Amino acid sequence: MFKTISDPADCEVRSVIRFLNAKKVNPAAIHRQLVEIYGENVMTDGMIRKWVRQFNDGRTIVHDEARSGRPSVVNNGLVTKVNEKIHEDRRFTIRMLFDEFPQISKTVLHEIVTNHLNYRKLCSRWVPKTPLRMSTKRSDLAVR
């Protein structure tokens, strides 16, 4: 029995398809071999047939082609500006940030605050995420 490879890269699987196709292995046999090594969820038989057709038509690149789409609005300059606004007033809301940066959506602003700057909401104040330390000492629990 062969060793199973879990979570292969897409280009790795396509390289195997290209190699086996060059050896004149039919798509159904390629699918069986891929399932044997990579598991049931590797690629459907139809997708393998599609890649075999593309390789037969002259495609040599196994990597994804560049896709057109909306470029990301988040950049280091924007993250820095948002961080400066946060340091001006820790009791900010995403709505207040939206008023300062109307060209950026609230969803993107929330993503910047939580994912890029690692802040979380704590008692109406945004604070950096830190691991909480649990203490059972009575002196540590006293209000100062």
pLDDT of 6: 86
Tens digits of per-residue pLDDT, 35-64? 999 988 899 999 999 999 999 999 999 998
Dump strand ranges (E) for the chain.
119-122, 125-128
Question: Which has more confidence, 141 or 80?
Answer: 80
- Give yes or no for a contact between 122 and 91, defined as CB atoms under 8 angstroms apart: no
- Round to the nearest angstrom and report the end-to-end CA distance of the chain: 66
Residue 16 has a pLDDT of 96
CA atoms of 21 and 56, how far apart (whole Å): 8
Report how far residue 21's alpha carbon sits from residue 43's, in angstroms, rounded to the nearest whole number.
15
Is 1.10.287 the CATH classification of the domain at 10-57?
no
The reported pTM is 0.49
* Res. 69: pLDDT tops 90: no
Q: Are 51 and 17 in contact (CB under 8 A)?
A: yes
